[in-house]
Amino acid sequence: MSEQTLKRVDLIFGEYSSEKYKVLANTLHRSNEEILKDLLESGLRGRGGAGFPTAMKWKFTAETPGDEKYVICNADEGEPGTFKDREILSRVPRKVFSGMAICGKVIGARKGYMYLRGEYRFMLPELQKELDIYHEHAKNLGLNFPIEIRMGSGAYICGEESALFESMEGGRGEPRNKPPYPTTSGFMKKPTVINNVETFVNVLMIMRLGPEQYKKLGTTDSRGSKVFSVSGDTPIPGIYELELGMSLDRFVDEFGDGDTKAVQVGGASGFCVPRKKFKDTIIGFEGVPTGGSMMIFNSSRSMYNVLHNYLEFFEEESCGQCTPCRVGCQQLRKGIEAVKKGEKKALYLDQLMKLSESMKLTAKCGLGQSVANSFSSIVNNFKEEMIY
């Protein structure tokens, strides 16, 4: 049935406007209300994975009183299997800076930061060059919104927004209690908008195309396109910009190697979808959301090994402050080992499922809460691989 190929989109990586920073220049003339209205109309939701409506985030922050506010671009791309921000930053950095500057105007921030993943240090010289060009143009536009790049140090947890603030403030990368949310108390305890790299680019494209045209892409719940990082057992790994709302079986038809057994959607903290559910799985906020990572596994892969690998990752990358995450990850990893070795009965998996549910309910931040996603989806769908 799916003869036709998935629609490729060229929004994010599409060509720049003919003039440098033209869209930004045009947007600066518009009122904040108009910009927010367009954003709301566009239905844009954050591209980091959680999918919070961008217009609301900006609006709340704009409404919080205060002279000192910040815009932060979360470029701490650490989710296993995600590498799309790297591509965006190396190909269209100007769009990212423009999006940040528009946000600065809307919320009344005078400073922006980009928190760049520690492993992306190699990109720093090029980005800095682009940033200098941005600053020049900003000056010509009479825009007082400097952007500074801060380097991460290689901790996955620092991609969590409040841990990112802690890290930027010089503290240990540990998530904070919420509330208060960043919209009222973020970086330096000031109202802050923090968005993913791709989100800022989407903002710029909405400004360029208008919400009506932008909305033509995607579904009601998932407007626009998404940049996917496709990896694993696929003949064509890479970065693809696709319309949101496709079904997983169409995706697998196009990217799989003909022997696909499962797709891990959304990285280690996402969900594992087995072949039998491909057809009913929509990629988008109404189905399985993803920050971009699509890992394809064929029948040669042991899902036990896949899960074990993820759990080892979480065990090490947990910040360690809250009990469910710190100890829970260790118990899950050791637990599946014990079942595999026959040291624990297969029924112990049920105990571990309950534990993962408790982790989801009680962990302090998204890291600990999302371990259960991959754990339960892999164990439920590939139980025999866990036991035998």
Partner 1 sequence: MAKQINLTIDGIAITVDEGTTILEAARKLNIHIPTLCYHEDLCVAGNCRVCVVEQEKVKNLPASCAMPVSEGMVIHTNSMKVRLARKHIVELLLSEHNADCTKCYKNGNCELQGLASQMLTGDHLFLDLVPEKNYTIDMFNTAIIKDDSRCIRCQRCVRTCEELQSVSALGVAYKGDKMKISTFFEHSLFEVVCTNCGQCVNRCPTGALIERNYIDQVWDAIYDPGKHVVVQTAPAVRVALGEALGLPHGKIVTGKMVAALRRLGFSSVLDTDFTADLTIIEEGHELLTRLKKALVDKDPTVALPMATSCSPGWIKFIEHTFPEYLPNLSTCKSPQQMFGALAKTYYAQKRKLDPRNVVSVSIMPCTAKKFEANRPEMRSSGFKDVDYVLTTRELAIMIKQAGLEFDELPEEKYDSFMGASTGAAVIFGSTGGVMEAALRTAYEIVTGREVPFDGLNIIPVRGTEGEVREATIKIEKVKPEWSFLEGVELKCAVANGLAHAKTVMQNVKDGKVNYHFIEIMACPGGCLGGGGQPIPTSPEIRSKRKMAIYQEDMGMPIRKSHENPEIAEIYKEFLEKPLGHKSHELLHTHYTPRKRY
319 binds partner 1 per the rule CB under 8 A: yes
Buried b (16+ CB within 10 A) or exposed e, 308-337: bebbebbbebbbeebebbeebbebbbebbe
* Burial bucket for residue 252 (CB in 10 Å: 0-12, 13-18, 19+): buried
Minimum CB separation from partner 1 for residue 193, in Å?
Answer: 22
Question: Which of 203/329 has CB closer to partner 1?
Answer: 329
362 binds partner 1 per the rule CB under 8 A: yes
Minimum CB separation from partner 1 for residue 57, in Å?
Answer: 20
Encoded tokens for 214: 């932008």
Question: Which of 115/145 has CB closer to partner 1?
Answer: 115
Minimum CB separation from partner 1 for residue 327, in Å?
Answer: 4
Question: Which of 89/157 has CB closer to partner 1?
Answer: 157
Member of 17, 90, 247, 321 binding partner 1 (CB under 8 A): 321
Stretch that binds partner 1, among 35-43, 46-54, 74-82, 330-338 (CB under 8 A): 330-338
Tell me the helix, strand and coil percentages in the chain, rounded to 5. 50, 15, 35
Q: What is the torsion angle, in degrees rounded to the nearest 10, for the CA atoms of residue 330, residue 333, residue 337 and residue 342?
A: 80
Terminal Cα-to-Cα distance of the chain (whole angstroms): 36
Q: Alpha-carbon distance 60 to 200, whole Å?
A: 17
Stretch that binds partner 1, among 48-56, 67-75, 127-135, 309-317 (CB under 8 A): 309-317
User: Are the CB atoms for 9 and 158 separated by under 8 Å?
Assistant: no
Minimum CB separation from partner 1 for residue 40, in Å?
Answer: 25
Binding to partner 1 in span 180-239, by CB under 8 A: none
349 binds partner 1 per the rule CB under 8 A: no
Question: Which of 13/348 has CB closer to partner 1?
Answer: 348
320 binds partner 1 per the rule CB under 8 A: yes
Q: Alpha-carbon distance 76 to 101, whole Å?
A: 19
90 binds partner 1 per the rule CB under 8 A: no
Member of 43, 81, 274, 335 binding partner 1 (CB under 8 A): 335
Buried b (16+ CB within 10 A) or exposed e, 44-57: bbbbbbebeebbeb
* Burial bucket for residue 150 (CB in 10 Å: 0-12, 13-18, 19+): middle
Stretch that binds partner 1, among 3-11, 39-47, 56-64, 172-180 (CB under 8 A): 172-180
Q: Cis (ω within 30 of 0) for the bond into 179?
A: yes
Encoded tokens for 178: 């919420």
Minimum CB separation from partner 1 for residue 344, in Å?
Answer: 8
Tell me how crowded residue 30 is: count the other CB atoms within 10 A of its CB. Answer: 15
322 binds partner 1 per the rule CB under 8 A: yes
Member of 4, 5, 18, 177 binding partner 1 (CB under 8 A): 177
340 binds partner 1 per the rule CB under 8 A: no
Binding to partner 1 in span 240-299, by CB under 8 A: none
Member of 40, 334, 340, 387 binding partner 1 (CB under 8 A): 334
| H or E, element range at 62 | helix 54-63
- How many residues bind partner 1 (CB under 8 A)? The answer is 38
| H or E, element range at 215 | helix 211-215
Determine the Cα angle at 130 with ends 127 and 131, to 5°: 85
350 binds partner 1 per the rule CB under 8 A: no
339 binds partner 1 per the rule CB under 8 A: no
308 binds partner 1 per the rule CB under 8 A: no
155 binds partner 1 per the rule CB under 8 A: yes
User: Are the CB atoms for 371 and 336 separated by under 8 Å?
Assistant: no
Tell me how crowded residue 300 is: count the other CB atoms within 10 A of its CB. Answer: 9
338 binds partner 1 per the rule CB under 8 A: yes
- What does the binding site for partner 1 look like in residue numbers (CB under 8 A)? 155, 157, 172-174, 177, 179, 314-324, 326-331, 334-335, 338, 344, 351, 354-355, 358, 360-364, 369
